[in-house]
Amino acid sequence: MDDESRVPHHAGTAESPAGTTRTKPDAPMLRILNRIERTLLYLVSAILLAVAGGIIVMMFVTAARNPSPWPERAIILIEELLLVLIVLEIFVTVRAHLEGGRIQLEPFIIVGVIAVVRHILSVVVRLSVTMTMAERRDQFTEMAVYAGVAFILVLALAIARWSKRS
Choice among 37-46, 101-110, 147-156 with the minimum mean pLDDT: 101-110
Residue 16: is its pLDDT beyond 70? no
Residue 1: is its pLDDT beyond 60? no
Does 53 map to a domain? yes
Q: Coil, helix or strand for 7?
A: coil
Check residues 13 and 106 and name the one with the higher pLDDT: 106
Does 155 map to a domain? yes
Residue 112's closest CA among 155, 73, 54? 155
Identity (one letter) of the amino acid at 98? L
Does 56 map to a domain? yes
Does 4 map to a domain? no
Instruction: For residue 70, name the pLDDT band (cuts at 50, 70, 90).
Output: confident
Does 67 map to a domain? yes
Instruction: For residue 17, name the pLDDT band (cuts at 50, 70, 90).
Output: low
Does 10 map to a domain? no
- Distance (Å, whole) CA 58 – CA 25: 51
- Distance (Å, whole) CA 9 – CA 5: 9
pLDDT, position 97:
85
Structural domain count, the chain: 1
Instruction: For residue 144, name the pLDDT band (cuts at 50, 70, 90).
Output: very high
- Distance (Å, whole) CA 70 – CA 86: 24
pLDDT, position 127:
79
Question: What is the C-alpha radius of gyration for the chain, rounded to an integer number of angstroms?
Answer: 23
Establish how many alpha carbons lie within 13 A of residue 114's alpha carbon, considering only the half-sphere containing its beta carbon: 19
pLDDT, position 5:
42
Q: What is the pTM of this model?
A: 0.64
Find the domain containing 95 and state its range: 15-165
Does 113 map to a domain? yes
Instruction: Find the angle CA(30)-CA(31)-CA(37) to the nearest 5 degrees.
Output: 85
Burial class (CB in 10 A: 0-12, 13-18, 19+), 21: exposed
Does 6 map to a domain? no
Q: Coil, helix or strand for 47?
A: helix
